[in-house]
Structure 1
Amino acid sequence: MENTQENPTSQNPTPADETSQAGAAGAPGAQPEAAAQAAAQVGQGGADAALAEAQAKIAELQDAFVRAKAETENVRRRGQDDVQKAHKFAIETFAEHLLPVVDSLEAAVAHGSDDLAKVREGVELTLRQLTGALEKGKVVAVNPVGEKFDPHRHQAISMVPSEQEANTVVAVLQKGYVIADRVLRPALVTVSQPK
């Protein structure tokens, strides 16, 4: 009689063998589910990291936006202040040029001389001072005798027959003034017309 003793390990599989056998042959799709769960966990971890990175970037951009907005507001406010100061003190330099003229006029009034020649000389000097102050402030007289009539810079009071070419300024009744090429007051003139 043969000894037919079987190996106990071959007949009674261990639980580990059952798992491996079930995974290999028994349960279809068991391995892909495990892989999907593992991938989902890895994907979840990656998504959390990406979300945290995106939130940090959003916070950084919001901070930069708030700072830029505040800086823009400060620049706007400073600009408004500069414009207000420019309007308020625009005449400051011009006024400084006029102060010597005021001093001369006050000295003339205080002097009280009866000598008309000296008074005239003082007035002429003061007029030169005033003209110089105006020129420093870019206020220039327009005296267009002999020039072609320009309605933007001259105001015609009358037309007179003349040998000169038509529409030529014959006489200036009142000087005009320009400030930096902008008409402050047009010159009052008479203009020639053909005979």
Structure 2
Amino acid sequence: MQSQESHVPASDAVAAQPETISTGLPPDAAAAFDASARIAELETQLTEAKDQFLRARAEQENQRRRAVEDLQAANKYAVQKFAAEMLPVKDSLEMALLDQSGQFDTLKHGVDLTLKQLISAFEKFQLSEINPVGEKLDPHKHQAISMIESDADANTVVNVMQKGYQIAERVLRPAMVVVAKGK
């Protein structure tokens, strides 16, 4: 009988040892070569990742620095627009002081126009008066300096000694008021 050993064609034998054929090295040397190549590839990726990280960190630091500079500039020059609106008011007041005509009505008219300039500038920047006559005392907007007998309800503002001011909804200076005593 014939032996049942199978005969493997030479082409199949070559396919069974791909490491030897592809690199021309024995299997252990091929594995070491693949590991060295993989290490070199990973080192390259690590170097690229470090570079990207450093660039991203530098960009973040630049953005933070720019934000700080912008905030400092905004704080430093925030009043610039308001100051520009105040200059004509100052000019008008100086002209009124220089007037030597002695005409009281002309001077009063000029001061009235100057006050209108000032009110216009205040409105432009949401600076408004707090004039609470007849309102209930609000400790957030009013400062009671005295109490008097009055027909009004208790804690009602009956007289304003000094107007208060607010910017938008924030109180800049509370109004100094006189309130009614309880009956």
Aligned counterpart, 1:21: none
Structure of larger gyration radius: 1
**AA aligned opposite 1:176:** G
- Displacement over 6 Å in runs of 4+: none
Q: In 1, distance between residues paired with 2:163 and 2:103?
A: 30
Residue 39 of structure 1 and its aligned partner are, at CA, apart by 3.0
1:54-65 matches, within 5 Å, as 54-65=42-53
Aligned counterpart, 2:87: 99
2:26 is paired with a residue of what secondary structure? helix
**AA aligned opposite 1:167:** N
Task: Find the partner of 1:43 among 24, 31, 41.
Answer: 31
Q: In 1, distance between residues paired with 2:45 and 2:100?
A: 82
Aligned counterpart, 1:183: 171
User: Could you tell which deviates more after superposition, 100-109 or 115-124?
Assistant: 100-109
Aligned counterpart, 2:61: 73
Q: State whether residues 163 and 194 of structure 1, in contact with CA within 8 Å, keep that contact through their aligned partners in structure 2.
A: no
Residue 52 of structure 1 and its aligned partner are, at CA, apart by 1.3
Task: Find the partner of 1:153 among 124, 137, 141.
Answer: 141
1:1-195 matches, within 5 Å, as 38-195=26-183
Residue 120 of structure 1 and its aligned partner are, at CA, apart by 0.8
Q: What per-residue deviation string (whole Å, max 9, x for no partner) do you get for residues 29-60 of structure 1?
A: xxxxxxxx933222212211211111111111
2:176 is paired with a residue of what secondary structure? strand
Quote the sequence identity (%): 50
Residue 161 of structure 1 and its aligned partner are, at CA, apart by 2.2
TM-score normalised to structure 2 length: 0.81
